[in-house]
Amino acid sequence: MGYEISENAQKFLTLYKEAKDKRNLKAQYELANYYAGSKDETLRKKAYSLYKKAADKGYTEALFGLGVCYEFGIGIKQDFLKAMLQYRRVDISVTNDIMTNPDPIGEAENRRLQEIMADGEAYAEFEAFLDEDIRETDVLETDIALAETGDRKAMHRMGCRYLDGKGVDKDEEKALELLKLSAEQGCDEAIMKLVDYYRLKHDLKKATRWYRQYAIERIKWRNRRLGW
């Protein structure tokens, strides 16, 4: 009498074999994801161990997994500071991924910039555009108008203005509202502003939550750049 193995079980067995026999970092990471979702503490500790093995070899997603383990106490004692350290390591690892792998978007941008630099007239127009852009983004009225349209960069700048009372009355509630709206759209600067804000308020749980979001956005950015 034969037994039918479910598709999920087959996938698990494949991952387990690749992680164990081939030392495949991606397989180790994905196997760790399976274990991390378990309610069995022994399996959750295995998740932490697998994340750490892959992370020690520079696998970016595994560094993120370690951060999640520390943030939520999966297989290891909960520690927000250690979680933020891992999310910081994700940022560094993303930079390393970009530097050590073909970057089709970056290469295309560099070629386009070289073409502009080679064309004197086009370069003059490009330079004028940059100057105008810098002047415009420094104007309060422009920031207000752009923020009202949902522009994430403008909302970040207005959030900072309200937080510091720069050009407007200081209003922390309004500042946080704008920064969170900007952060939810993936603005790195807004996310890190929230991290810094909550760290200064000694609210490590919220600071870690936003640092995790920053790590997610960095991985997404890397994937777009490298076509992963």
As a whole number of angstroms, the distance between CA 186 and CA 196 comes to 16
Average pLDDT, the chain: 86
User: What pLDDT does residue 18 have?
Assistant: 61
Cα dihedral value 88, 20, 22, 221, nearest 10: -20
As a whole number of angstroms, the distance between CA 152 and CA 191 comes to 11
User: What pLDDT does residue 8 have?
Assistant: 63
Residue 121 makes CB contacts below 8 A (sequence gap 6+) with: none
Q: What is the pLDDT of residues 134-156, one digit of tens each?
A: 554 457 888 999 999 999 999 99
Residue 116 CA from chain centroid, whole number: 31
Among the residue ranges 61-75, 84-98, 110-124, 126-140, the one predicted with the least confidence is 126-140
User: What pLDDT does residue 44 have?
Assistant: 96
User: What pLDDT does residue 180 have?
Assistant: 97
Highest mean pLDDT pick, 25-29, 129-133, 174-178 = 174-178
pLDDT level of residue 96 (50, 70, 90 thresholds): very high
pLDDT level of residue 103 (50, 70, 90 thresholds): confident
User: What pLDDT does residue 140 have?
Assistant: 86
pLDDT level of residue 6 (50, 70, 90 thresholds): low
Among the residue ranges 5-19, 52-66, 167-181, 185-199, the one predicted with the least confidence is 5-19
**Which has the closest alpha carbon to 183: 163, 147, 155, 162?**
155
Q: What is the pLDDT of residues 32-43, one digit of tens each?
A: 999 999 999 999
Q: Is the model's pLDDT at 130 over the cut of 60?
A: no
User: What pLDDT does residue 3 have?
Assistant: 46
Percent of the chain whose predicted confidence (pLDDT) is above 70: 78
Could you tell me which residue, 118 or 73, shows the higher pLDDT? 73
Q: What is the pLDDT of residues 155-213, one digit of tens each?
A: 999 999 999 998 899 999 999 999 999 999 999 999 999 999 999 999 999 999 999 99
What is the enclosing helix (H) or strand (E) of 201? none
111-131 mean pLDDT: 64
